[in-house]
């Protein structure tokens, strides 16, 4: 029986809402020199592009999600950062030292980061219209509801429109140019000026009317990648330069439209990431796949391709709508100018319309980068323009890859999270099981902070305050548990979710130690390092809170499926003795470690690791009744005040949106909203993508996704209930932190736990 819910309601309505589509737009072309802060991204999960360039000389900066250098494509003996033989015998000494002294080190567990690699750009596709000059009335825009990028301009003789989109149904990107007069000659060409010319080749085919591109990340064993752009329509003639690989198209008389279908692929194969395949990750040459995909798409009209794309994309965008008023008329202003208005010294500027657009953009980016046949979005989503990108554009798992998922399940995009489930099951779990044995002599599987697409599950060499992070999978299991809690898809839980939860729980059941420092009979993690902050010690608050949530949700899942009675008993026993990660310091803050380290307490560090159980997890806020417990909520508040607004340390966008969400869960509208606006002021570039340090590169997409999660936290508090109703009744609070300027807005499609979907209108604060 479900526990009784108490709900603080805004205004519920089942009336249909009139939804106005939102767009980003500019009257200036995006330039390659500043592409990541000016271009508008498009994608279908596997393929991604940044359109840029001047009128008549447009280019697409292209990505394929599996195109990485490094790993077994750089060294066939690559072993994912694991040691060659077990080092688990060193654990007992590490633990003894830490229990005796309070702190220690894990140097003996560290592996190699050789051949780790990086996500890399594929190249540029150039589409040049001959004779274009003196263009006027230029405008480029990105329609968030359709996922179509449009450019318009005029010359003395004609008006031109180009449209670009990346279609999931047809697995291609489509480029179309239309003119009010006969089209001029058009040249199409692939290139990559960043890559050694000996490793790439641009070519073309007159018979198929295609521009072709091929490359390898390094000679001999590198990853193979290829691309093709094929003309859809009949033309007067085509010619092919064997020297440059340029496809030259002469349109027919009266021809006013021409389209290209574009595909790309690599010989990466995630299903080959197992011991039986020697973790090769090597599949077949992508040429046949690309040719077949392009041919199939080219057999359709551009209208059909467009309709297929819009039907798919709009259906996903329309699973949730947030409409906020536009008192400043921002819909009619260039996006960069709207963003620049936030650059005030006192952080007082408000723009409800743009704040809702940035929320829509969060969902748009997720739809464009996470599909069931793709890898999950990485640090740069899918949009990287270099060969060696910041942090390898990898999967950082101590906040970043998790934050990328924040806005999905509550807004009807949970089905797109399958990219993450597959990635963890195929790439993390197999080699992660070896890491668990080699480093910890443990069952289950484990990964650490930085993971590539080649199963780098070992602990990297470096500063252990960031390298020592075996809690990564525990945090990801929150998203597994949440997906089931919101969908109640029992088949998915049985086939996909529960095996993940079970394996990670088995790992931690084997690792918990009886506290020999305080001798209080509790179970703690030893060794541990709070993400990127402080010493290597035991009983890190972050770990204890995550394991509390992990064991709780795994036990609930096992009960729901009537599986693994022995595991259920082990989880129940461990939960009764587990240190839950709630220790309040002498200054009334949530301690970050079980030992009180006063030198670190008033740090303005970017991470909120000791508040993981407040948000986004529920150990503090729900299972320990923190949401209704003033002692806990006061300690959370004091911790947030101490950590500051997220500017001094790194000034990253993700640290601000995390703070915003935490303040929203405290029902503090003013501060939650201030942090949200501060993110825009400090970190959002003119194309609305988030930059890491202020508005300077590198681009890091997590704040874009985290922004969506922060807004959802302002709209609703939706807490789960612990095992045997620990934490009290199920709690849903609508409007815990809705700013007054949002008051005339409306919401449709808000998901709550249990599979319900609500409509809200006339928004006022619920508390």
Q: How far apart are the first and last CA of the chain?
A: 28
Q: Tell me, what's the pLDDT at 33?
A: 96
Share the mean pLDDT of the chain: 95
Q: What pLDDT is stored for residue 427 in this prediction?
A: 98
pLDDT tens for 145-156 read: 999 999 999 999
Rg of the chain in Å (alpha carbons): 26
Would you state the pLDDT for residue 344? 87
| Backbone region of residue 351 per phi and psi (left: phi > 0; alpha: psi in -120 to 50; beta: other values) | beta
Q: 366: which 2 tokens? A: 């997720």
Q: Among 5, 328, 324, 312, which Cα is nearest to 172's?
A: 312
Helix, strand, coil abundance in the chain, percent, nearest 5: 35, 20, 40
Please state, in angstroms and as integers, the Cα–Cα distance from residue 534 to each residue in 7, 141, 372, 529, 638, following that order: 40, 46, 38, 7, 19
Domain spans of the chain, in order of start: 31-67+122-317, 69-79+93-116+339-387+396-761
> Do the domains 31-67+122-317 and 69-79+93-116+339-387+396-761 sit in the same CATH topology, yes or no?
no
Cα 546 from Cα 612, distance rounded (Å): 7
Taking the C-alpha atoms of residue 22 and residue 145, their distance in angstroms, rounded to an integer, is 7
Give residue 469's pLDDT band: very low, low, confident or very high (50, 70, 90).
Answer: very high
Q: Are 257 and 178 in contact (CB under 8 A)?
A: yes
- Beta-ladder partners of 190: 125
Nearest to 241, CA basis, from 203, 276, 213: 203
Tell me the fold of 31-67+122-317.
Answer: Beta-galactosidase; Chain A, domain 5 (2.70.98)
pLDDT of residue 763: 66
Question: Counting beta carbons within 10 angstroms of the beta carbon of residue 20, is it exposed (0 to 12), middle (13 to 18) or buried (19 or more)?
Answer: exposed
Alpha carbon distances (Å) from 745 to 16, 321, 325, 758: 14, 10, 6, 15
Helices (H), 282-351: 287-298, 302-317, 335-340
Query: In Å, how far from its chain's centre is CA 198?
Result: 34
Token pair recorded at residue 452: 């590539």
Q: What is the CATH number of domain 69-79+93-116+339-387+396-761?
A: 1.50.10.10
Q: What is the 3-state secondary structure (H, E, C) of 103-147?
A: CECCHHHCCCCCCCCEECCCEEEEEEECCCCCCEEEEEEEECCCC
Sign of CA dihedral 461, 464, 467, 472: positive
9, pLDDT greater than 50: no
Q: Which of 390, 403, 472, 341 has its CA nearest to residue 659?
A: 403
Mean local confidence (pLDDT), 662-672: 98
The pLDDT of 608-617, averaged and rounded, is 98
Q: Give me the percent of the chain exceeding a pLDDT of 70.
A: 96
* d(C-alpha 695, C-alpha 199), whole Å: 34
* pLDDT tier, 765 (very low <50, low <70, confident <90, very high otherwise): low
For residue range 31-84, what is the model confidence (pLDDT) as tens digits?
Answer: 999 999 999 999 999 999 999 999 999 999 999 999 999 999 999 999 999 999
Cβ 221 vs Cβ 74: under 8 Å:
yes
Least confident among 12-16, 136-140, 521-525: 12-16
Has residue 120 got a pLDDT over 90?
yes
Least confident of 16-20, 169-173, 615-619, 713-717: 16-20
pLDDT tens, 343-372?
988 899 999 999 999 999 999 999 999 999
Decide: residue 44, CB within 10 A, 0-12 exposed, 13-18 middle, 19+ buried.
buried
CA angle 620, 623, 627 (to 5 degrees): 55
Angstrom distances, CA of residue 236 to CA of 207, 230, 239, 244? 13, 15, 11, 22
Beta sheet of 148-154, edge-to-edge order = 23-26, 136-143, 148-154, 159-167, 172-179, 257-266, 224-231, 210-216, 200-205
State the residue for tokens 């029986």.
Answer: 1
Give the mean model confidence (pLDDT) for residues 671-694. 97
CB 660 within 8 A of CB 652: no
Dist CA 86 CA 106 (whole Å)? 14
Segment 282-311 shows an average pLDDT of: 98
For 203, the token pair is 């070519």
3-state SS class at 344: coil
Q: Does residue 714 have a pLDDT over 50?
A: yes
Cα 223 to its chain centre, rounded Å, is: 24
Neighbours of 518 (CB within 10 A): 14
Rounded to whole angstroms, the Cα distance separating 149 from 38 reads: 13
Question: Which residues, in sequence order, are bridge partners of residue 229?
Answer: 211, 262
Q: What angle do CA 124, 127, 129 make, to 5 degrees?
A: 155
> 3-state class of 382 per DSSP?
coil
Tokens coding 712: 């959802």
CB 109 within 8 A of CB 56: no
3-state SS, one letter per residue, for 428-489: HHHHHHHHHHHHHCCCCCCCCCEECCCCCCCCCCCCHHHHCCCCHHHHHHHHHHHHHHHHCC
Residues with Cβ within 8 Å of residue 241, at least 6 apart in sequence: 204, 248
- Give this prediction's pTM: 0.97
Residue 6: which pLDDT band, with cuts at 50, 70 and 90? Answer: very low
**Cβ neighbours of 27 (radius 10 Å):** 13
Tell me how far apart the alpha carbons of residues 131 and 414 are, in angstroms, rounded to a whole number. Answer: 48
Can you tell me the distance from the alpha carbon of 427 to that of 446, in angstroms, rounded to the nearest whole number?
Answer: 11
Cβ-based burial of 747 (10 A; exposed 0-12, middle 13-18, buried ≥19): buried
Torsion of CA 642, 648, 651, 652, to 10 degrees: -40
Q: According to the model, what pLDDT value does residue 764 have?
A: 54
User: In the predicted model, what is the mean pLDDT of residues 246-263?
Assistant: 98
């Amino acid at each position: 029986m479900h526990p009784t819910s108490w709900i603080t309601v805004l205004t519920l309505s089942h009336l249909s809402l009139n939804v106005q589509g939102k767009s980003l737009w500019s009257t200036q072309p995006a330039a390659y020199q500043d592409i990541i802060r000016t271009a508008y991204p498009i994608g279908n999960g596997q393929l991604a592009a940044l359109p840029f360039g001047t009128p008549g000389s447009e280019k697409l900066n292209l990505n394929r999600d599996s195109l990485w250098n490094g790993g077994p494509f750089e060294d066939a003996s690559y072993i994912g950062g694991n040691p060659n033989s077990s080092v688990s015998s060193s654990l007992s000494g590490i633990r003894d030292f830490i229990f005796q002294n309070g702190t220690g080190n894990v140097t003996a567990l560290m592996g190699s980061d050789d051949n780790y690699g990086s996500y890399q750009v594929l190249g540029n596709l150039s589409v040049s219209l001959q004779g274009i000059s003196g263009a006027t009335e230029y405008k480029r825009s990105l329609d968030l509801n359709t996922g179509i990028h449009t450019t318009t301009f005029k010359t003395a003789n004609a008006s031109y429109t180009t449209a670009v989109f990346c279609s999931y149904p047809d697995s291609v990107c489509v480029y179309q140019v239309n003119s009010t007069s006969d089209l001029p000659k058009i040249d199409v060409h692939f290139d990559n000026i960043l890559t050694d010319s000996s490793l790439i080749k641009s070519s073309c085919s007159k018979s198929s009317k295609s521009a072709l591109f091929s490359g390898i990340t390094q000679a001999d064993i590198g990853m193979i990648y290829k691309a093709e752009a094929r003309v859809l329509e009949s033309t007067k003639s085509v010619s092919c330069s064997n020297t440059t690989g340029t496809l030259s198209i002469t349109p027919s008389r009266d021809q006013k439209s021409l389209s290209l279908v574009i595909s790309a692929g690599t010989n990466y194969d995630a299903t080959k990431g197992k011991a039986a395949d020697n973790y090769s990750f090597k599949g077949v040459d992508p040429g046949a796949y690309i040719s077949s995909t392009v041919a199939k798409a080219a057999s359709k009209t551009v209208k059909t391709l467009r309709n297929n794309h819009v039907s798919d994309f709009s259906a996903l965008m329309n699973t949730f709508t947030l409409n906020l008023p536009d008192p400043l008329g921002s819909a009619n202003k260039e996006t960069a100018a709207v963003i620049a208005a936030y650059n005030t010294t006192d952080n007082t500027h408000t723009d409800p319309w743009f704040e809702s657009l940035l929320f829509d953009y969060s969902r748009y980016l997720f739809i464009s980068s996470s599909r069931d046949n793709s890898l999950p979005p990485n640090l740069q989503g899918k949009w990287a323009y270099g060969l060696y990108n910041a942090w390898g554009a990898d999967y950082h798992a101590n906040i970043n890859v998790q934050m990328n998922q924040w806005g999905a399940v509550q807004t009807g995009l949970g089905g797109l999270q399958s990219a993450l489930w597959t990635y963890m099951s195929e790439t993390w779990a197999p080699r992660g099981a070896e890491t668990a044995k080699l480093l910890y002599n443990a069952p289950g599987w484990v990964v650490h902070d930085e993971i590539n697409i080649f199963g780098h599950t070992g602990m990297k060499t470096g500063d252990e305050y960031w390298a020592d992070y075996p809690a990564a999978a525990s945090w990801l299991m929150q998203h597994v548990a949440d997906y089931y809690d919101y969908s109640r898809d029992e088949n998915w839980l049985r086939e996909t979710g529960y095996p993940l939860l079970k394996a990670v729980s088995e790992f931690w059941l084997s690792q918990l130690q009886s506290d020999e420092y305080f001798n209080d009979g509790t179970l703690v993690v030893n060794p541990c390092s709070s993400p990127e902050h402080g010493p290597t010690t035991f009983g890190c608050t972050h770990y204890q809170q995550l394991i509390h949530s992990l064991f709780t949700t795994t036990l609930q899942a096992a009960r729901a499926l009537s599986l693994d009675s022995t595991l259920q008993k082990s989880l129940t026993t461990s939960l009764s003795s587990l240190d839950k990660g709630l220790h309040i310091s002498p200054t009334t803050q949530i301690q970050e470690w079980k030992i009180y380290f006063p030198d670190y307490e008033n740090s303005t560090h970017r991470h909120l690791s000791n508040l993981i159980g407040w948000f986004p997890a529920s150990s503090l806020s729900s299972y320990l009744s923190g949401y209704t417990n003033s002692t806990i909520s006061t300690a959370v508040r004091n911790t947030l005040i101490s950590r500051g607004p997220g500017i001094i340390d790194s000034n990253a966008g993700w640290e601000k949106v995390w703070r915003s969400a935490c303040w929203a869960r405290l029902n503090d509208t003013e501060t939650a909203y201030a942090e949200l606006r501060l993110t825009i002021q400090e970190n959002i570039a003119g194309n609305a993508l988030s930059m890491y340090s202020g508005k300077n590169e590198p681009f890091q997409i997590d704040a874009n996704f985290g922004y969506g999660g922060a807004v959802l936290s302002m709209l609703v508090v939706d807490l789960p209930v612990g095992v045997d109703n620990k934490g009290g009744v199920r709690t849903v609070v609508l409007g815990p932190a809705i700013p007054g300027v949002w008051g005339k807005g409306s919401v449709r499609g808000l998901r709550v736990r249990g599979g319900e979907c609500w409509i809200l209108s006339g928004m006022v604060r619920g508390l």
